[in-house]
């Protein structure tokens, strides 16, 4: 089972990836987590990446493609994996196609978590993360449920980095969705609702019980279908992701 989680910063990719890795027993490959681990370890890559992440910008395609190539070649990915945070640009998507082809793999589903910008801003400003295992938690959580570590705020969740992250997503990452739409792999899910509600919809999509577009039966899902443009060119660039 090879899955790709797609969505804006704060849309819930990491949250749902945690659920999927427990459910399917396959690794969660999160490029942001990998970069933060390099920063924490003080490697040359970490020193290069730190100011880029802090400013909410993207690390170069060349570096990111190299990281993912190395990771997907590891044996634990053989039964499948959950990709989160890559590809973020069209060149990354094209490189991933080539890499998947080389490895004899294909994606079973692309899950697009669609959340309005106002909700993203609200979530990111309150999010807490475990510095040990990188799991994410809502505000007021005191300790990591997995390892008991005290939770911290991510450097790029500070207000000055959050808007640039959403802007660069709209500019560089929204076009990546079309890449997968052409392959009819995308399940759109309204990312508003409780974490458990979204998890049920994600699992239904992965298990092929629903197949896009826009899943979810709540009134919020209905509103989203009519009110959430996907691309900057569709209007309301600052309102939607």
How far apart are alpha carbons 193 and 28 in whole angstroms?
23
Q: Whose structure tokens read 């990591």?
A: 144
The answer to whether the CB of 2 falls within 8 A of the CB of 119 is no
Residue range at the interface with Mg ion (CB under 5 A); choices 7-15, 91-99, 138-146, 162-170 = 7-15
Q: Residue 87: which of 107, 73, 116 has the closest Cα?
A: 107
Nearer CB in complex with ligand AP5: 156/188:
156
Pick one of 7, 10, 12, 14: the residue that binds Mg ion (CB under 5 A): 14
Pick one of 83, 93, 95, 198: the residue that binds ligand AP5 (CB under 6 A): 198
Pick one of 78, 143, 195, 227: the residue that binds ligand AP5 (CB under 6 A): 195
Q: Residue 37, class by beta-carbon neighbours within 10 Å (0-12 exposed, 13-18 middle, 19+ buried)?
A: middle
Q: Whose structure tokens read 């640039």?
A: 164
* 3-state secondary structure at position 143: strand
Pick one of 20, 64, 189, 224: the residue that binds ligand AP5 (CB under 6 A): 64
Exactly one of 13, 36, 123, 135 is catalytic; which is it?
13
Give the HSE-up count for residue 124: Cα atoms under 13 Å, Cβ half-sphere.
26
> Catalytic: 127?
yes
Q: From the CB of 36, what's the least distance to Mg ion, in Å?
A: 10
Report the partner that residue 216 touches, choosing among ligand AP5, Mg ion, none (CB closer than 5 to 8 A by kind).
none
Q: Is 12 in the site for Mg ion (CB under 5 A)?
A: no
Q: From the CB of 205, what's the least distance to ligand AP5, in Å?
A: 15
Q: Whose structure tokens read 């959950």?
A: 82
Q: Whose structure tokens read 């730190």?
A: 50
Pick one of 28, 88, 114, 179: the residue that binds ligand AP5 (CB under 6 A): 88
Q: What residues are annotated to the active site? A: 13, 88, 127, 154, 165
């Amino acid at each position: 089972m090879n899955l790709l989680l797609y969505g804006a910063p704060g849309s819930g990719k990491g949250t749902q990836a945690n659920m999927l890795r427990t459910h399917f027993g396959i690794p969660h490959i999160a490029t942001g987590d990998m970069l933060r681990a390099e920063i924490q370890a003080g490697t040359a890559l970490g020193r290069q990446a730190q100011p880029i992440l802090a400013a909410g910008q993207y690390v170069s395609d060349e570096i990111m493609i190299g990281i993912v190539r190395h990771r997907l070649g590891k044996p634990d990915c053989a039964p499948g994996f959950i990709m989160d945070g890559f590809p973020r640009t069209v060149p990354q998507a094209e490189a991933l196609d080539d890499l998947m082809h080389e490895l004899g793999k294909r994606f079973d589903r692309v899950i697009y978590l669609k959340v309005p910008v106002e909700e993203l801003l609200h979530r990111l400003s309150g999010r807490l993360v475990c510095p040990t295992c990188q799991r994410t938690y809502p505000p007021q959580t005191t300790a990591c449920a997995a390892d008991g570590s005290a939770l911290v705020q991510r450097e790029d969740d500070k207000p000055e980095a959050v808007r640039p992250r959403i802007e660069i997503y709209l500019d560089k990452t929204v076009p990546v969705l079309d890449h997968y739409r052409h392959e009819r792999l995308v399940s759109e899910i309204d990312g508003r609702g409780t974490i458990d509600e979204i998890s049920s919809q994600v699992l239904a999509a992965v298990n092929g019980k629903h197949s896009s577009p826009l899943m979810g039966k709540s009134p919020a899902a209905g509103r989203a279908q009519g009110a959430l443009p996907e691309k900057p060119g569709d209007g309301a660039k600052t309102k939607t992701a």
